[in-house]
Structure 1
Amino acid sequence: MIKYKSREEVELLREAAQVVSRTLGKVAEAIEVGVTTLELDAIAESYIRSQNAEPGFLGLYDFPNTLCVSINDEVVHGYPRNEPIKDGDIVSIDCGAILNGYYGDHAYTFAVGNVSEEKLKLLKVTQECLEIGIAQTKVGNRLGDIGFHIQKHAEAHGYGVVRELVGHGIGKTMHEEPQVPNYGRRGRGKKIKEGLTIAIEPMINLGTKKIKYLEDNWTIATLDGMASAHFEHDVAVVDGMPEKLSTFEYVEKALAKKK
């Protein structure tokens, strides 16, 4: 059952989402060639706790860390390791936080060092897919409209859209109804109503849409070994229109300072 949120609940969700946005900003400040993803994980956990919040992923479904870190051909759910990030890697950082009983869930894929034009285009198109999906999240549309337009944009560039992993409702639990696929048919699915709060998260592959689980039983990677990108925002329907609860502002400011 979908749990539609009051204005007060939307604001609480926004506060949780903004903790995650600022955390990703801290990650953006630190991420570079030679840094390990375990170091990034420690930075994220420390910052979240400094905000009187709790890491949303740590212990969820027995996940062992604060961040999900997925590199190059890894799609999602990779965990931090004591291995340095290499020049040319793309690194998906997915982060969650709990504040005042509500969850924030937010992701950004970073280009580290000298990244190929092929990968950079994948990141650009995947982020465009996210914005396109958000724009469809309004009263009068259906959930299928979100996935349809994401899929259309990704496939127009020859990319694969992951089917097995989807966006989701968000609130007092990380994963609520409804599921929000990144593919679908226009005009299908549940009607979008006032107070809907969802995490939209396109997972777009440079090659095949097919995926595989790695031996660690967490990390999901592309079947063909080609790169994958992942961007995510928390979104609420307010006055009939989509409103982002999370922001890439802190990430973009941190990255701009490095140029």
Structure 2
Amino acid sequence: MAVDLKTKEHIRGIRKAGRIVAACHKALSKRIAPGVTTLEIDRFVERFMLDRGATPAQKGYKGYPFAICASVNEVVCHGFPDSEPLETGDIVTIDMVADVDGWKADSAWTYAIGRINTATEKLLLAAEQSLQDGIKQAVLGNRLGDIGYAIQARAERAGFDVVTAFVGHGIGRNMHEYPEVMHRGVPGQGIALEEGMVITIEPIITAGRADVYIAQDGWRARTRDGAWAAQFEHTVAITKEGPIVLTRWD
């Protein structure tokens, strides 16, 4: 299967969507607090996107009914928003995809609800750092295995594990495109990174074992041992100048 390489014009289109995603996450960071429900967050995100000329691409995708995925504590991804208030000490991953003029950008972020304990702080730090280490490897001359290895090495040094049941992916006109981006890997192996590739890097790091199961709703993935998990994700373009993060908050 061939990678759909993007032109500079295509990347500008994805960047437009990425800026809305980033602005929405930045706005959420000031609104998420104890007592807020993930259903309220879902409604805020959908309105935020629509007001700025974007549509929430996840809504309706394979029948998914919400604008965001909201994954609390041991839910690793694809959590349904609901009316249960978030509590102090919780963590919640908000994953969203904006579509602007047919171009899509994807980003997830794990938020602390009020004060969290030291162990959870370490989990969030390791998860965010693993994403940043993966992005640093997204350069011409490297392969996807270099990205996965950097993520895995950071997580394991911190005493955590990487969930392998879910992967990053190419993105552009479609939410999920070739190739798959694994978050474990062997340096020098995998598909070579080419100019014009646009991918998501989205490691999920868990404080326990990496084994997960899917809930009866067919969407929510949880850790089997009940350990909490954190995820940070950016949409990244591979260019001659190095990786360009199209969903940066700044």
**Which category describes the TM-score, using the shorter chain as reference length?**
over 0.9
Deviation at 1:6, TM superposition (A): 0.4
Are 2:48 and 1:47 aligned? Answer: yes
> Are the aligned partners of 2:204 and 2:229 in contact in 1 as well (CA < 8 Å)?
yes
Detail structure 1 runs of 4+ shifted over 6 Å in the superposition. none
Partner of 1:252: none
Partner of 2:182: 181
> Are the aligned partners of 1:161 and 1:182 in contact in 2 as well (CA < 8 Å)?
yes
The 10-residue stretch of structure 1 (233-242 or 12-21) with the greater mean CA deviation from structure 2: 233-242
Correspondence 1:93-242 to 2 at 5 A:
93-242=94-243
Q: Secondary structure, in 3 states, of the residue corresponding to 2:30?
A: helix
Amino acid across the alignment from 1:97: A
Q: Secondary structure, in 3 states, of the residue corresponding to 1:243?
A: strand
Deviation at 1:99, TM superposition (A): 0.1
TM-score, structure 1 normalization: 0.94
> Are the aligned partners of 2:236 and 2:246 in contact in 1 as well (CA < 8 Å)?
yes
Q: Secondary structure, in 3 states, of the residue corresponding to 1:215?
A: coil
Amino acid across the alignment from 2:204: M
Tell me how far apart the structure 1 counterparts of residues 230 and 35 of structure 2 sit (CA, whole Å).
21
Q: Deviations over 1:191-237 (max 9, x none)?
A: 10111100000101011011111222211011110110000000001
> Are the aligned partners of 2:19 and 2:246 in contact in 1 as well (CA < 8 Å)?
yes
Tell me how far apart the structure 2 counterparts of residues 46 and 142 of structure 1 sit (CA, whole Å).
38
Q: Secondary structure, in 3 states, of the residue corresponding to 1:226?
A: coil
The total of aligned residue pairs comes to 249
TM-score, structure 2 normalization: 0.98
Tell me how far apart the structure 1 counterparts of residues 233 and 90 of structure 2 sit (CA, whole Å).
19
Amino acid across the alignment from 2:30: E
Q: Deviations over 1:134-179 (max 9, x none)?
A: 0000110001100011001101122111111000000000000010
Tell me how far apart the structure 2 counterparts of residues 214 and 234 of structure 1 sit (CA, whole Å).
27
> Are the aligned partners of 2:140 and 2:239 in contact in 1 as well (CA < 8 Å)?
no
Partner of 1:87: 88
Are 2:20 and 1:19 aligned? Answer: yes
Amino acid across the alignment from 2:144: L
Partner of 1:256: none
Q: Deviations over 1:43-85 (max 9, x none)?
A: 0000100011111100011111001000011100001001100
Are 2:7 and 1:6 aligned? Answer: yes
> Are the aligned partners of 2:89 and 2:113 in contact in 1 as well (CA < 8 Å)?
yes
**Structure 1: stretches of 5+ with no match in the other structure:** 250-259
> Are the aligned partners of 1:26 and 1:43 in contact in 2 as well (CA < 8 Å)?
no
CA RMSD of aligned residues (A): 0.9
Partner of 1:60: 61
Deviation at 1:248, TM superposition (A): 3.2
Amino acid across the alignment from 2:112: A
Partner of 2:32: 31
Tell me how far apart the structure 2 counterparts of residues 78 and 8 of structure 1 sit (CA, whole Å).
34
Deviation at 1:240, TM superposition (A): 4.8
Tell me how far apart the structure 2 counterparts of residues 87 and 248 of structure 1 sit (CA, whole Å).
25
- Percent identity of the aligned residues? 39
**Structure 2: stretches of 5+ with no match in the other structure:** none
The 10-residue stretch of structure 1 (234-243 or 163-172) with the greater mean CA deviation from structure 2: 234-243
The 10-residue stretch of structure 1 (224-233 or 26-35) with the greater mean CA deviation from structure 2: 26-35
Tell me how far apart the structure 1 counterparts of residues 76 and 173 of structure 2 sit (CA, whole Å).
26
Partner of 1:254: none
